[in-house]
């Protein structure tokens, strides 16, 4: 019997949905060194200003912070170095064209395991304006209040009038 492997999430870019309107999603492999893999497995990853750049028909992840692994020995890795993304040439061409024409950006959403390999979920995003961010927060708060009101443990359900 084959063992099914579901993607286990390692780290997530929590601010991506807040700062960007996410349009299109792609999964890509990541070229990492041995100590970086160990550090990623312990969850020492930061997405603060990470984005994808395209150069000479290749895609690179810029600004992803992977903390140096403590037991790496003599191997010293740069935490914020540029990391190559493993995508099909057709996917790279499509994403690069959209980024150039429409003023969009490609950003990482998460790091996860898929069949024993470390992958990153990428999204094509358009930056939100401040009023869009405020509107989204307001809608989320209203939705939360509605769910709280009509849930079985909510105050209205507990004390019907």
Q: Is the pLDDT assigned to residue 134 strictly greater than 90?
A: no
Quick check: helix, strand or coil at residue 153? coil
Q: What is the pTM of this model?
A: 0.75
pLDDT of residue 54: 94
Q: Which structure tokens are listed for 150?
A: 């009509």
Q: Which structure tokens are listed for 23?
A: 């349009």
Q: Is the pLDDT assigned to residue 133 strictly greater than 50?
A: yes
Query: 159 or 82: which carries more pLDDT confidence?
Result: 82
Q: b vs e for 57-92, b when ≥16 Cβ sit within 10 Å of the residue's Cβ?
A: eebbbebbebeebeeeeeeebeeeeebebebeeeeb
Q: Between the CA of residue 106 and those of 81, 82, 128, 159, 160, what are the distances in Å?
A: 17, 15, 14, 49, 49
pLDDT of residue 28: 95
């Amino acid at each position: 019997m084959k063992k099914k492997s579901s993607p286990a999430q390692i780290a997530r870019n929590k601010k991506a949905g807040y700062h960007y309107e996410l349009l299109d999603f792609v999964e890509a492999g990541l070229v990492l060194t041995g100590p970086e893999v160990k550090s990623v497995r312990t969850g020492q990853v930061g997405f603060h200003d990470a984005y994808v750049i395209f150069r000479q028909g290749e895609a690179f992840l810029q600004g992803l912070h992977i903390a140096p692994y403590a037991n790496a020995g003599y191997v010293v890795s740069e935490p914020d170095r540029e990391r190559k993304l493993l995508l099909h040439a057709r996917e790279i061409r499509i994403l690069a064209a959209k980024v150039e024409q429409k003023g969009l950006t490609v950003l990482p959403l998460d790091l996860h395991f898929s069949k024993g390999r470390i992958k990153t979920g990428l999204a094509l995003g358009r930056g939100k304006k401040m009023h869009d961010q405020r509107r989204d927060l307001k809608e989320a708060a209203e939705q939360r209040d509605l769910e709280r009101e009509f849930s079985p443990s909510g105050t209205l359900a507990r004390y019907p009038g």
